[in-house]
């Protein structure tokens, strides 16, 4: 009799673990997909930057250092290794870019240039897409991490090979003070 009860409990536990495992897998895949979405946008930004720099270079003789810092930040971001390194480097690229966008605002003939306008819109949307992709990544990662840390999942999650996923956050205090720029092109 006792044997049957124990067997029933073990079978029940087995199914509970299968259920938890499957739900963790589906959320983890969402997290990975969200991460890939960010990657796609970052790649897009890397591709856009040379075009923008070329378009504004001629008329921004006095702002060489701003342009150079963007180009350098891009190179650093492309060569970053690992998630946390790439998060930090991309943050630097973001702040360099927002400085450039703020500076472009001071050049009326640049702003009215049709090609620059289109590039600015593309860059604005890329920045936004990165932000929103990260926002979604953080949301879904929070859901995933919360699941992992809750009882009873926390007892065997690491044994099944699930690890907490890192969140995007700004580590450097200076980067919190990104200049506020109104990028709306339309009036």
Partner 1 sequence: MAEPILQQSRNIIEQQAYNRRMTWFVMSAVVLLFAFLGLGFDYFYLGVFDDGLFSFPIVTICAIVFSIIFAYSTLQQGASVVLQSTKAIPADRQNTDHQQLLNVVKEMSLASGLPMPKVYIIPDNDPNAFATGKDPQHSYVAVTQGLLSMLNREELQGVVAHEMSHIRYHDIRLMTIVAAFVGAIVLLSDVALRGMRYGFGGKVGKSKNKNSLGLVVLILWVITLILAPIITRLMAMMISRKREYLADASAAELTRNPVALAKALQKLENASEPTASIKRGIAHLCVVDPIGKAVNEKEGFWAELFSTHPPMKKRIMLLNAMAYIKSNGIKNAT
**Residues making contact with partner 1 (CB under 8 A):** 30, 34, 37, 41, 117-118, 121-122, 124-125, 128-129, 132-133, 135-136, 138-140, 142-143, 146, 183-187
Task: In whole angstroms, give the CA distance from residue 136 to residue 38.
Answer: 9
DSSP code, position 122 = H
Residue 72's nearest CA partner among 102, 92, 52 is 92
Q: Which is nearer to partner 1, 37 or 51 (CB)?
A: 37
Q: Which is nearer to partner 1, 107 or 136 (CB)?
A: 136
- Cβ 146 to partner 1, closest distance in Å? 5
Q: Which is nearer to partner 1, 46 or 147 (CB)?
A: 147
- Cβ 32 to partner 1, closest distance in Å? 12
Q: Which is nearer to partner 1, 47 or 68 (CB)?
A: 47
- Cβ 137 to partner 1, closest distance in Å? 9
3-state secondary structure of 185: coil
Task: In whole angstroms, give the CA distance from residue 80 to residue 173.
Answer: 21
Q: Which is nearer to partner 1, 6 or 40 (CB)?
A: 40
Give 65-83 as a DSSP string.
Answer: HHHHHHHHHHHHHHT--SH
- Cβ 8 to partner 1, closest distance in Å? 31
Angle formed by the axes of helices 64-78 and 2-57, nearest 10°: 150
- Cβ 133 to partner 1, closest distance in Å? 5
140: left (phi over 0), alpha (psi -120 to 50) or beta: alpha
């Amino acid at each position: 009799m006792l044997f049957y009860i124990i067997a029933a409990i073990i079978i029940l536990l087995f199914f509970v673990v299968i259920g938890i495992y499957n739900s963790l897998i589906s959320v983890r895949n969402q997290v990975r997909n969200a991460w890939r979405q960010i990657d796609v946008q970052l790649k897009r930004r890397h591709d856009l930057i040379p075009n923008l720099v070329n378009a504004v270079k001629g008329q921004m003789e006095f702002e060489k250092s701003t342009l150079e810092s963007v180009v350098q930040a891009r190179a650093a971001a492309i060569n970053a290794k690992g998630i946390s390194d790439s998060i930090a480097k991309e943050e630097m690229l973001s702040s360099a870019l927002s400085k450039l966008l703020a500076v472009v605002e001071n050049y009326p003939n640049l702003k009215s240039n049709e090609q620059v306008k289109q590039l600015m819109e593309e860059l604005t949307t890329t920045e936004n897409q990165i932000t929103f992709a990260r926002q979604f990544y953080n949301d879904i990662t929070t859901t995933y991490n919360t699941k992992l840390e809750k009882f009873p999942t926390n007892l065997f999650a690491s044994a099944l090979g699930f690890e907490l996923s890192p969140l995007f956050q700004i580590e450097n205090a200076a980067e919190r003070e990104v200049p506020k720029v109104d990028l709306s092109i339309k009036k």
